[in-house]
Amino acid sequence: MSKFKTAILLTLLLGLVVSVAAFAGGFSVVKYDDTSAEIKQPVKEVTKAQYIMNGDFLDWTGGYPDYWDVPTPVLSPGWEVHFANMDFTEAGTAAGAGMNPASGWFIRTGTAGSQYAGMSQQVSSHLMTGMYWVQVHITSWEHNVQSPYNSVAWYGFGETADSSSVTEWRELFPDTYVCSNGDEVCNYLGRQESVFIHEGAFMHIMVGMKFPDHQAWTVFGVDDISISDFSDHINIDVDDFTDDGDVYWDSRAPR
């Protein structure tokens, strides 16, 4: 991914703190601690009516974001997946003030096959079938990835909480490779566009790695998801992505 001049500072320091016991087969819920962020505005300043709950991931219960369904993925042989509460809080923010969590996944390759993970939420009952303004932001970096288009991420809308009901997946980044772990910097990429949504639909986020490159892994961080009515302040450009900042991390952090 390309960098954007206005930085988000995300210093991912040593240590993953397991907040929920590991599940069978290599899936666990973790928290990235000791991080900080400087967020470019007005990413979060969507003032129109919202049709998705907790899209900024401020509210969590038991290690999971409220209103979102985060299913335990079916793991391919030898693969490892963590779901993470990622701290994108602005640097220098006092404890308990202005906290900014994000949702994330860590996927490490196994011996064969592919691996995917995701989450979903049913849109508000106030949403009527029609066109809406949708935005989703993502940051992603990888290590030891050799195969092109290995690290992938999409969003889409389906009839049910089953991701197989999605008929059109929309890429969250168009890159052959995402940022390298050694770069220690990557952009905070937004896909912002008009989307036709049916009443009662489920919004799905899906991330994954398509190929079992040896000892490879990818981190995905998702934040600032919104569905709103149109306003005069919304610029529609369905042919491009928006760079809303840079993300920094510690490449030495264990995964």
Predicted pLDDT at 174: 85
What is the DSSP pairing of strand 27-32 with strand 80-87?
Answer: parallel
Domain ranges of the chain: 16-248
Residue 253 has a pLDDT of: 77
Look up residue 140 and give its DSSP letter.
E
Q: Which residues contact 171 (CB under 8 A, 6 or more apart)?
A: 152, 153, 154, 191
pLDDT for 39: 58
pLDDT of residue 144: 97
| The predicted structure's pLDDT at residue 33 | 61
What is the sign, positive or negative, of the torsion defined by CA atoms of 37, 39, 43, 49? Answer: positive
Burial of 201 (0-12, 13-18, 19+ CB in 10 A): buried
Q: What is the pLDDT of residue 203?
A: 98
- Please give the pLDDT value at position 212: 97
- What pLDDT, on the 0 to 100 scale, is given for residue 76? 94
8 Å CB contact between 112 and 79: no
Domain 16-248, architecture per CATH: Sandwich (2.60)
User: What residues have CB less than 8 Å from 56, skipping those under 6 apart?
Assistant: 44, 100, 223, 224, 225
Q: Which residues of the chain have pLDDT under 50?
A: 2-25, 34, 43-44
pLDDT tens readout for residues 106-145: 999 999 999 999 999 999 999 999 999 899 999 999 999 9
Q: Is the alpha carbon torsion for 60, 62, 66, 72 positive or negative?
A: positive
pLDDT at 101: 86
- Residue 17's pLDDT is 35
Instruction: Please tell me the predicted confidence (pLDDT) of residue 91.
Output: 62
